[in-house]
Structure 1
Amino acid sequence: MAHQGHAQAERWWSHIEYLADDRMRGRETGSPEHRVAADYIARMFRKAGLRPGAGSSFIQPVSFTARRIVEARSSVSLLRGGAEEKLTLGEDLTINVRVANAPFTEARVIFAGYGLSIPSRNHDDFAGLDLNGKIVLVMPGGPKGIAGPLLSHSQSQRWSELRKRGAIGLLTVSSPAGDTPWSRSSLARLNPQMTLTDATLDETAGQRFNGAINPNAAEKFFAGSGKAARPLIDAALKGEPLPSFDLPASIRATIAMDSWPVESQNVIGILPGKRSHGNRDLSNQYVVLSAHMDHLGVGSPIRGDSIFNGAMDNASGVAMLIEVARAAAAGKRSARSIIFIAVTGEEKGLLGSRYFANHPTVPARSIVANINTDMFLPVIPMRSLIVNGLEESDLAADARRAGASLGVEVVTDPEPARNAFTRSDQYSFIKKGIPSISLKTGFVKDSPEHETIKRWRSDRYHAPSDDLGQPVNFQSAALFSRLYLRIVQEIADRPTRPSWNADSFFRRMAPDRG
């Protein structure tokens, strides 16, 4: 691809050309091509001047169990008034095989609004409901007026709350306003999904059934209830209050799955901090920079192409990680040490970062901050930097100082309803109480640049068209690289340990950290 740009952006693009080439076959977690990508990243880390971050190696092994549904031997039906209505897998609903669905389940269905319990905001969709032994059906989104990070965290903890109340399964109506249209997301149902082999890290334990409902098929589940699905979906998209009520139906599901072990890897390098002989030696504290290297592999063809290259998602973030490592190692050594980690299994549910957060290669207490980069989208001019989590910790001051030094405004997420703060690998660190942020190219809501971003998501997100042939703004990538490095330097050299803000919900996750 011919382009003009900063030398660093040229190097950045060269890494993407390697990682997102068709020969890499979409870097599916555990695939031979993913291992080739991991070895490449390890070589680049070594070449940049990093030390191995997993003992004597750059590679941290991660074990998974993969599952794939066998639709020919699977079926789901609605039972209502003595009649059975068979549902079509892929058309009416999909089965989430990240969950170890039971071979056979028959249970009543209950509608529980958004399926959220947020005591600090006096919101409880489960109040007065008997969920014991039932499959809970919920709408996407959440009530307006609840901050995006708190709402997103509550959504991620939904099953934990349901399990406490005796539920055995979960059905979620897919959002018609989501990043991926049903026509595309349903194609992914035949791809393998994964869980960590370490059962102590399984956040879906106890679920016998988990599925996603096509919003256009939702009326089938509400038939006979006296309520229509479409007004409820429309209300959910606006964040309006939702009722909760029993549905006059049961689910009967027979689920057949193939499963097999998968071995994959995180790639970890360390840039040691500058040791001090005074009382302020911070070299034994670590700032973690993360980006996921996996993507979706090879899937059902879309417009004749079946390789999901993942150039922006997230070869771009890994390439940026490599270039920031190179620049940091070539410059003045910071006070704190810096860990660079390319994680596996993000597309499988943030699994590689969850594994590292629970099995860190340095003392857990020594990790003071995380900066994650996932699909930062340099497809528009960079006029500002979005920092997800800006309102949550004092890392905001570091980001703003870095932005001011380069004349770039640092802003909060203009689309808070997308809940980006807990949708990528930074969330694995957040749950351990580590102040975290993620970075993206900024835009003004409803601007032409915003429309470009929305078109990119609609046309290229989780699609084969996220490839090397798409338009890229190299000046934007070069500026992002410089700003990313400045933020890292600010955090790595600050005299005090980063902390959550006093009013941040996430502060409670690690009260000893502050």
Structure 2
Amino acid sequence: MTSLTFRFPRKSLRTLALGALLSASTAALAAPAPKFDVARISNDIKTLSSDDFEGRGPATPGEKKTIDYIAAQMKAAGLQPAGDKGSWFQSVPLRMSNIVGTPNLAMTIGSAATPLSQGEQIAVRAAETGQSSVAFKDLPLVFVGYGVKAPERGWDDFKGVDLKGKIMVVLVNDPDFEGGEGDFGGKLMTYYGRWTYKYEEAARQGAAGVLVVHESAPASYGWATVKNSDTNTMFDIVRADPKAAHTQMEGWIQKDLAAQLLKASGIDFEAAKAAARKKDFQPIPLKATMSADYAVKSDIITSYNVAGLVRGSKYPDETVIYSAHWDHLGVGLPDAKGDRIYNGALDNASGTAALLELARSYAGGPPPQRSVLFLAVTAEEKGLLGSEFYADNPLRPLATTAGVINMDGPFAIEKTTDFSISGAAKLDLLTMLTEEGGKLGRHYTPDSRPEAGSFYRSDHFPMAKRGVPAISYDAGNELVNGGAARGKELADIYTRDRYHQPADEYDASWNTSSWVGDMTLLYNLGNRLANGHVWPNWSQDSEFRATRDATAAQRP
């Protein structure tokens, strides 16, 4: 679940800081931030993103190397193991699914037979239903607009259409994306805009499959990201009834193919999108069918979160969490140079390296009053699965977890004057971050791309939806040298050329001028929380406030 501020484009949304909600009693701080070793951070990134780690895919030899390295660094720093049964590891059972060989995919559009190439016009995922094959012939396709059923907004894109035995074709993002205003918060993406929601809704509707139409702007990433992610190994949490959450076929199609489907049915693609932005939209049966035939290998495997603890001196049962995901995409389709290893240097060896350096700092300094948990989670790239599992099976009680500070690409490409967080949120933890940033001469900038749905795309989200105050740090985009314009330019280059591609590799020539400042801000926020005794909360109008308030009696 930022861009070339070393924050990935999928992880940013407009945020509104709360006003002065915190009293002076938050200030019981310990020593100032320690010195951070940029060379050591660089070495951790270089090691974790090397070809030897094979892209850090869960359930691969690369995972074993990765988690062993993280645990060894935590042990060397002086942390206590905080995983299962006194170990460094928390077992995370997952369903792992792979398409065997090359899938046979085709459509009949109008009367024309149209073969489809996996990764080109279409990208289908391995079925996550547990079935051993996907085989169907000439199933009808139905365009359902944005595929949203939101009774609280008086919105229903399905209007009673029967999707059983049919393939649902759906637009990505919210109905408000194109016009910037409406029932879904304008440019601010709601969960209804996420492809994960659309897959879930397809299952609820009883569809035989679902195809999301890819467009770079509303998706917030290019086709290369879809192709490289969705044609790879799929993981999911182990579900009692996986078919309640997944259809047998889930995937994406290119916009040109979607336009071809609609044209054969006498409808212009842009006109169909315009119609889909209105409440009175009616589903459109397409003059097209789809056939598919491929085998799926499905296994239940165990991946691992890695957890190390610095025990609190005064309130050891209360917890502050720093988190980062250690996984990336592993080995996948080759790029134009034939490189098949998705090294994930920025996404997210950099966050893991920051986690380790912070762990060294806390373990080597005065004991904090609250315990601090350093949590490296698995399978973020497969749907925040490691953090989702932790949130369901916490190693430390969520009710007495004061806050979560997540790091996913936490360093800027160069020194910045600002900082941000991933996602639209109103909470005291952001107020604290803003205050700590101000002390360092940096200001908070709300995300300029609220349509990207970043709040739902990083490892803080599973904790947030269970009420725990949680943010994912973003290093900002306003460069000291060149300002926001140059920051955006470099971010766009990263998104286009490196994000979720083999080219996301360690580079010894990186400008590291922002790193100490980012580490200091991350440390100061956590240190303030760990050496105080306040309990940050969400704003009164936050959807997470009631969940947090329900556990208030468990906090001293």
Shorter chain as denominator, the TM-score bin is 0.7 to 0.9
Q: Name the CA distance, whole Å, in 2 between partners of 1:232 and 1:290.
A: 42
Q: Name the CA distance, whole Å, in 1 between partners of 2:222 and 2:198.
A: 23
Per-residue deviation, 1:306: 2.3
Per-residue deviation, 1:80: 6.0
1:411 paired residue number: 445
> Quick check: 444-453 or 367-376, which moved more?
444-453
SS in 2 for 1:386: strand
SS in 2 for 1:213: strand
- Residue deviations 1:98-149 (CA, integer Å, cap 9, x gap): 5336623454332222122344444443345444554321111211333467
Q: Name the CA distance, whole Å, in 2 between partners of 1:130 and 1:268.
A: 47
Per-residue deviation, 1:439: 0.7
Q: Name the CA distance, whole Å, in 2 between partners of 1:474 and 1:289.
A: 22
Preserved contact between residue 413 and residue 511 of structure 2 (Cα < 8 Å): yes
Q: Name the CA distance, whole Å, in 2 between partners of 1:463 and 1:404.
A: 35
Residue identity in the other structure for 2:236: T
Does residue 17 (structure 1) correspond to residue 23 (structure 2)? The answer is no
Counterpart selection for 1:217 from 257, 263, 278: 257
Mark the CA change 1:421 to 1:334 in structure 2 (over 3 Å): closer, same or farther.
Answer: same
Q: Name the CA distance, whole Å, in 1 between partners of 2:114 and 2:363.
A: 62
For the aligned residues, what is the CA RMSD? Answer: 2.9
SS in 1 for 2:350: helix
Mark the CA change 1:151 to 1:398 in structure 2 (over 3 Å): closer, same or farther.
Answer: same
1:440 paired residue number: 474
Q: Name the CA distance, whole Å, in 1 between partners of 2:242 and 2:384.
A: 12
Preserved contact between residue 166 and residue 209 of structure 2 (Cα < 8 Å): yes
Mark the CA change 1:123 to 1:496 in structure 2 (over 3 Å): closer, same or farther.
Answer: farther
Mark the CA change 1:202 to 1:373 in structure 2 (over 3 Å): closer, same or farther.
Answer: farther
Per-residue deviation, 1:414: 2.0
Does residue 31 (structure 1) correspond to residue 70 (structure 2)? The answer is no
Preserved contact between residue 385 and residue 441 of structure 1 (Cα < 8 Å): yes
Counterpart selection for 1:468 from 499, 506, 527: 506
Q: Name the CA distance, whole Å, in 2 between partners of 1:512 and 1:443.
A: 37
Per-residue deviation, 1:153: 6.1
Q: Name the CA distance, whole Å, in 2 between partners of 1:429 and 1:181.
A: 28
Q: Looking at both structures, which has the greater relative contact order when contacts are Cα pairs under 8 Å and sequence separation is at least 6?
A: 2
Residue identity in the other structure for 2:397: P
Mark the CA change 1:200 to 1:433 in structure 2 (over 3 Å): closer, same or farther.
Answer: farther
Mark the CA change 1:253 to 1:89 in structure 2 (over 3 Å): closer, same or farther.
Answer: same
1:194 paired residue number: 235
Structure 1 unaligned spans of 5+ = 1-5, 276-281
SS in 2 for 1:474: coil
Preserved contact between residue 35 and residue 264 of structure 1 (Cα < 8 Å): no
Q: Name the CA distance, whole Å, in 2 between partners of 1:240 and 1:376.
A: 39
Preserved contact between residue 176 and residue 215 of structure 1 (Cα < 8 Å): no
1:500 paired residue number: 538
Does residue 126 (structure 1) correspond to residue 158 (structure 2)? The answer is yes
**Count of matched residue positions in the alignment of Structure 1 and Structure 2:** 499
Q: Name the CA distance, whole Å, in 2 between partners of 1:401 and 1:181.
A: 36
Identity of aligned residues (%): 30
Does residue 66 (structure 1) correspond to residue 105 (structure 2)? The answer is no
Counterpart selection for 2:393 from 359, 367, 378: 359
Written as runs of structure 1 = structure 2, the 5 A alignment for 1:73-222 is 74-79=103-108, 84-97=113-126, 99-100=128-129, 103-105=134-136, 107-142=139-174, 143=176, 144-145=180-181, 146-147=184-185, 151-152=190-191, 155=194, 156-177=196-217, 178=219, 180-183=221-224, 185-196=226-237, 198-200=238-240, 205-222=245-262
Residue identity in the other structure for 1:30: A
Per-residue deviation, 1:285: 2.0
Structure 2 unaligned spans of 5+ = 1-34
Q: Name the CA distance, whole Å, in 2 between partners of 1:379 and 1:68.
A: 35
2:75 paired residue number: 46
- Residue deviations 1:422-445 (CA, integer Å, cap 9, x gap): 112112212322221111111259
2:326 paired residue number: 293
Mark the CA change 1:270 to 1:173 in structure 2 (over 3 Å): closer, same or farther.
Answer: same
Instruction: Give me the TM-score of the superposition, normalised by structure 1.
Output: 0.88
Per-residue deviation, 1:367: 2.6
> Quick check: 122-131 or 404-413, which moved more?
122-131
